Amino acid sequence: MSKLFSVLFVLLMAAHLVRPFGLPGLRRRGDFWKLALVGIVVFGLTALLRPD
């Protein structure tokens, strides 16, 4: 599942660099780092909540 999330976030960041999404906080191409920050938080939560 984490591989799916990583591929998804890489695709989202690449798509945002090509054409910004226009959402509040994501209006410029340089804001793709915010998507990376969300990805890091998601991976952290996944690691904390995993029952292993």
Q: What are the tens digits of pLDDT across the range 1-52? A: 678 878 988 898 899 889 998 888 888 988 888 888 988 998 888 889 987 7
Helix%, strand%, coil% for the chain, nearest 5: 75, 5, 25
Question: What sign results for the dihedral spanned by CA atoms 4, 6, 8, 11?
Answer: negative
Q: Domain count for the chain, please give it.
A: 1
CA dist 35 → 40, 46, 52 (Å): 9, 16, 27
Range of the domain at 32: 2-49
**Angle between the N-to-C axes of helices 32-49 and 2-18, in degrees from 0 to 180, rounded to the nearest 10:** 170
At 11 the pLDDT is 92
The per-residue pLDDT for 1 is: 64
